[in-house]
Amino acid sequence: MAARTAESDLALAYRLQLEEAMAASLALQPSPSNSSLNSPKPSPPISINHALNLADLRTLRINKFERPSGECSSSKNNNSKKNNEDNQEVFRVYFKGLLSEERVPGPRSSNKTVSVAAIGVAICDSKDEMIFEMKKPLDLIKGDRINMKIVEGQALIEALNAAISLNLKRISFYCDCRQLYQYVSGHWRPKQQKIIKILDKVDLFRKCFTHCEPLLIASKDVKFACQLAREAIKSQISKVVSSLGKLEKCVICLDDKSLYQFFSIEGCTHQYCCSCMKQHVEVKLVNGVLPKCPHEGCGNELRIESCGKFLTPEFTEMMRQRLKEDSIPVTEKVYCPYPKCSTLMSRTEVRGLPKSGDGFGARTCYKCHGIFCIKCMIPWHENMSCAEYKRRNPTQLVEKSLLKNLAARNLWRQCNKCKHMIELSAGCYHMTCKCGYEFCYTCGSEWKDKKATCDCPFWVDENIMDDIEEVEHGDVWFVEPN
């Protein structure tokens, strides 16, 4: 109110000054009744522009010396102040993860217990008005261990990711899980590996904000997020119930099973029951072959992310190693020389391993942390050249020679691709190594497109025994590569 009064006073003063300047200009002009001969020569009239300039100068003086201190009425300053207030606003991020076991009606009046998980995220402004919401189901991997802390951590990651996508810079996220709050606050240290990975991602996301503060609240105060998570849970249960009501026959085992028990292969959409797919993938992995779609003529490779739904963690890790072996060319494969480790690495990986201070060619295995020589690929020989070490330690050469003699005596064959030793136990001479290489056991020639490239016999009668199950490629035993 005081600012408006001051502005009106200044406007009135400006008008009075302008009227005085105009009056002075008119008073100096000669009267028409007076003679031009008797009157002195008049001064030149003050122009309107000049009068305005004088008024402007006086107004500037008033603005400079007479305006009360601290008064600011410009729109520019007001806009700047408003922008600063907007930049200082702290948005509120609510999140909730729910994990539940539900009994749903199955086929033939049977009930089935299913585990479902979902998350809800609600982002509000400083007045608690919601500006963003998200509800999302979580895919649970069969055989995987999961708890509420992991689900809550996944919900927090999704919430922070949503805040980043909205380009928010100042947030406070509200936890109703006390353990998760202690973890993100740095008061407790988690021991579970999955929680550690979640917290690493949370720390990475928190660096994207200028202000990111965790706050502990009661469960009843998680507001919208909990409701969104419940809605996602209900949606999941509805889908499970609808799928359980429909039966379909698996073309492998010929059993009628619900759609919920089927696995759809990405890329080709062939479907088989999870039980058959589990056996198919495990057998292939044990035989050292990357699993593919079992449909005849379909070569679509299975993805480890999708197979994790029915594989145990041990077979999931085995599949990950098979994928790594298949991705590394034979000439680039390097194994850790320590017998208790034998970790597979590529030469590019070996060159990038941390260097040991013991010597230029020394590298440290990333798994067993043993030091080895990258030149001769044997355990590190300190203060000794590779040639000198081999000369002083002929035992390894003797062991290698003994292995070759033993292989020749027992008719073992060495894979031309990965150099593994293979022994034929029973069956035909068509061999498939764990690396996927197919060859003739008699002469070692490669098989191409499931066909032999040599004229050797396919089998001999003494290797075909009635008391064992028929096998397509023969049983194989593996010895560590030389």
Break the chain into its structural domains and give their ranges: 1-27+45-67, 89-240, 249-326, 330-382, 407-479
Return the CATH number of 89-240, one of 3.60.130.10, 3.30.420.10, 2.40.50.1020, 1.10.10.60.
3.30.420.10
In the chain, what is the straight-line distance between the N-terminal and C-terminal CA atoms, in Å? 94
Residue found under tokens 């729109």: 75
Give the homologous superfamily in CATH for domain 249-326.
Zinc/RING finger domain, C3HC4 (zinc finger) (3.30.40.10)
Tens place of pLDDT for every residue, the chain, 482 residues? 544 555 556 666 667 766 776 666 555 555 444 444 444 444 444 444 444 444 444 444 444 334 443 444 444 455 554 455 455 899 999 999 999 887 766 555 556 777 889 999 999 999 999 999 999 998 776 556 788 999 999 999 999 999 999 999 999 999 999 999 999 999 999 988 889 999 999 999 999 999 999 999 998 888 789 999 999 988 888 777 766 666 788 888 888 887 777 888 887 878 898 889 999 998 888 877 888 898 888 888 888 888 877 888 888 888 888 888 777 777 777 788 887 777 888 877 777 766 655 556 788 887 888 888 878 777 888 778 888 877 777 665 556 666 677 777 777 787 877 777 787 777 788 888 767 788 888 888 888 877 888 888 876 665 554 434 444 444 433 333 33
Rounded CA gap, 420 and 330, in Å? 12
**Each residue of 287-307: pLDDT tens digit?**
778 888 988 888 888 888 888
β-pair partners for 92: 124, 172
Side-chain half-sphere of 469: how many Cα atoms within 13 Å? 3
**pLDDT value at position 476?**
39
Angle at 89 between CA 2 and CA 200, to 5 degrees: 165
Q: pTM for this structure?
A: 0.41
pLDDT tens string 344-396:
888 777 777 666 555 567 888 878 888 888 787 778 887 788 888 777 776 65
Q: What is the set of active-site residues?
A: 428
Of 418, 398, 421, nearest to 409 by C-alpha is: 421
Strands (E), 244-307: 247-249, 256-258, 262-264, 271-273
